[in-house]
Amino acid sequence: MEKQPKLQIIGVLHGDISNREDAPKNYSESERVGSLEIYPEYEEALDGIVSGQTIVVLFWLHQAARDILKVHPRGDMSKELRGVFATRSPARPNPIAISELRVLAIQGNHLEVLGLDILDGTPIVDIKKKIG
């Protein structure tokens, strides 16, 4: 196995969140709408996704720190430091974020989605069906 597998960026998020202070804490608390642009070479892999369904989207948080192992939960300095694996902090060795998003509309290789907590311009690495 490769020691450091390489990710393929499959698309990019277009949204209206431009800084972390403005971002909802997580997708379950968000009513933000945006668009997932999937690059044409991967469009075929969208076949079967329908409006109204909830999808699981994995983003690559390209601006996040990868060398931090402990954080103050939600940036609250009054809280004790905690290991990043016990949190949802963007900072972590592999800054992959998971969002559950509702599909509002599909137009070719663009999915309009609801529930965003991710910054505009963030790369997308995977989409999955939600279980259950």
**Does 52 engage in binding with its own copies (CB under 8 A)?**
no
**Does 3 engage in binding with its own copies (CB under 8 A)?**
yes
**Does 131 engage in binding with its own copies (CB under 8 A)?**
yes
What x-and-dash track marks residues 63-102 binding its own copies by CB under 8 A?
---x--xx----------xxxxxxxx---xxx-x-x----
CB of 57 to its own copies, least distance (A): 9
CA dihedral 82, 95, 124, 57 (to 10 degrees): -30
Question: Concatenated DSSP letters for 101-117?
Answer: EEEEEEETTEEEEE---
Measure the CA–CA gap between 98 and 50, rounded to whole angstroms.
Answer: 20
List binders of its own copies among 11-50 (CB under 8 A).
26-28, 38, 42, 44-49
